[in-house]
Amino acid sequence: MHVPDGFFTAAVSVSTGVVAAAGVAVCLRGARRELDDRTAPMAGLVAAFIFAVQMLNFPVAAGTSGHLLGGALAAILVGPYTGVLCMAVVLLVQALFFADGGLTALGVNITLMGLVTVLVGWAVFRAVTRVARGKGAITVASFLAALLSVPASALAFTVLFWLGGTAPIDVASVAAAMGGVHVLIGIGEGLITAVTVGTVLAVRPDLVYGYRGLAPALVLRGAEGSVTVGDAPAPARSGGAGPFLLGGLGVTLILASVVSYFASSHPDGLEYVAEQQGFIDRATDHLLASWGLAEYGEVKGVPLWIVGIVGVGITLLIASGLAYAARRRATADT
């Protein structure tokens, strides 16, 4: 789901563009620390991998299928900075060479599918692996990270839509519908991410960035019974990306709302025409009338709300249950 041109107002496009550029700039420096001079080939190959994996369709429920976003997967496998870079490059290449996603919406797409998914995914992953250690905890953490990153991205989309969308839709119902659907997609994303990370962990644990520092120290046992314990591997840098990205999201919201405010001091195009045609009074009357009607809520609002509440409830239940299970496993390990 790449946002095309014309979906958001110019104000939102510009402000997300600024945030995306700043985020990518920070990650360019951070990725150099993660990969040194290997940045270009490694990030390039991982971006190609993300691109390929996004084409993997997996069944979700009852005949529908979804495809991977890959933000959380990239963050766990190669680290948050490189992950953002890979996602940004994938989106750039898709916009430039496949006409997938509008050029003016590139900032929106990078912010939503690059920054938000990687940030949320990595934050959740770190939070879980901090309380629980071991390979089982990594799998659980990957599942939760990917599961939550997808609805988070969808909700960020809704907030942007509320600030500067071009369609007159009740934000609460959009949020409910988007959240509900994306929790389902998130479960698929979580499953596939967890098993993928688990597979890599089984074959090449050294390649999983999120596992660095969590592996047990090397123990050498000599033939005559001497035991040498090696140094514990250095932990993965949690990095300063979190505060920056959170700040970035805040700045987006402020920028977008401020710019939208100034933009909307001109009468919006439709209002202008409505005034000219003389039907603006009727329109507002009707709007209020439809708000007052209980029937509207019954027909449209309630089902969407239920979907939303059920979706959020499922997420919270699964998340807390898994976090609890992970913690218990961790205490059993030690």
Partner 1 sequence: MGTHHQLYRPGDSVVHRLPPQCKLVAVFAFAIVVVATPRERMWAFGLYAVLLGVVAALARVPLPYILRRLVIEVPFVLFAFLIPVIGLGERTTVLGVSLSVPGLWAAWNILAKATLGVVASILLAATTEPRTLLLGAQRLRVPTLLVQIAMFMLRYMDVIVDEMRRMRVARESRGFEARNVRHIPVVARSAGALFIRSYERGERVHLAMLSRGYTGQLPVLQEMSASARQWLVAAALPAAAAAVLGIAL
Binding positions for partner 1, 174-213, rule CB under 8 A: 188, 191-200, 203-204, 207
Question: Quick one: 7 or 122, whose CB is closer to partner 1?
Answer: 7
Q: Does residue 328 belong to the site contacting partner 1 (CB under 8 A)? A: no
Question: Quick one: 128 or 194, whose CB is closer to partner 1?
Answer: 194
Does residue 71 contact residue 118 with C-beta atoms inside 8 Å? yes
Q: Which residues contact 158 (CB under 8 A, 6 or more apart)?
A: 171, 174, 175, 178, 179
Does residue 94 contact residue 101 with C-beta atoms inside 8 Å? yes
Q: Least distance in Å: CB of 221 to partner 1?
A: 29
Q: Least distance in Å: CB of 220 to partner 1?
A: 27
Q: Least distance in Å: CB of 212 to partner 1?
A: 14
Which of 166, 264, 320, 331 binds partner 1 (CB under 8 A)? It is 166
Question: Quick one: 193 or 315, whose CB is closer to partner 1?
Answer: 193
Binding track over 97-116 against partner 1, x by CB under 8 A: xxxx-xxx------------
Q: Least distance in Å: CB of 222 to partner 1?
A: 33
Q: What is the DSSP letter of 104?
A: T
Q: Least distance in Å: CB of 211 to partner 1?
A: 13
Question: Quick one: 43 or 330, whose CB is closer to partner 1?
Answer: 43
Does residue 3 contact residue 108 with C-beta atoms inside 8 Å? yes
* Site residue total, partner 1 (CB under 8 A): 85
> How does 104-129 read in b/e, with b if 16+ C-beta sit within 10 Å?
bbbbbbbbbbbbbbbbbbbbbbbebb
**240: three-class secondary structure by DSSP:** coil
Question: Quick one: 61 or 246, whose CB is closer to partner 1?
Answer: 61
Q: What is the rounded CA–CA span in Å between residue 128 and residue 255? A: 33
Residue range at the interface with partner 1 (CB under 8 A); choices 80-88, 147-155, 253-261, 309-317: 80-88
Question: Quick one: 20 or 137, whose CB is closer to partner 1?
Answer: 20
Determine the distance from the C-alpha atom of residue 160 to the mean position of all C-alpha atoms in its chain, rounded to a whole number.
14
Q: Least distance in Å: CB of 190 to partner 1?
A: 10
For the purposes of burial, counting CB atoms within 10 Å of the CB of 288, is it exposed (0-12), middle (13-18) or buried (19 or more)? exposed
Question: Quick one: 245 or 330, whose CB is closer to partner 1?
Answer: 245
Q: Least distance in Å: CB of 40 to partner 1?
A: 4
Does residue 151 contact residue 121 with C-beta atoms inside 8 Å? no
Tokens (6 digits) for 27? 């990650």
Q: Which residues contact 214 (CB under 8 A, 6 or more apart)?
A: 129, 133, 134, 138, 235, 236
User: Contacts with partner 1 in 255-284 (CB under 8 A)?
Assistant: 269-270, 272-273, 279, 282-283
User: Contacts with partner 1 in 16-35 (CB under 8 A)?
Assistant: 24-25, 28, 31-32
Q: Which residues contact 142 (CB under 8 A, 6 or more apart)?
A: 72, 73, 76, 125, 190, 193, 194, 197, 198, 210
Q: Least distance in Å: CB of 117 to partner 1?
A: 16
User: Contacts with partner 1 in 218-257 (CB under 8 A)?
Assistant: none
Question: Quick one: 5 or 333, whose CB is closer to partner 1?
Answer: 5
Question: Quick one: 136 or 170, whose CB is closer to partner 1?
Answer: 170
- Computed on alpha carbons and rounded to an integer, the radius of gyration of the chain in Å comes to 23
Which of 19, 72, 85, 137 binds partner 1 (CB under 8 A)? It is 85
Which residue is it, tokens 């090696």? 230
Q: Does residue 1 belong to the site contacting partner 1 (CB under 8 A)? A: yes
Q: Does residue 43 belong to the site contacting partner 1 (CB under 8 A)? A: yes
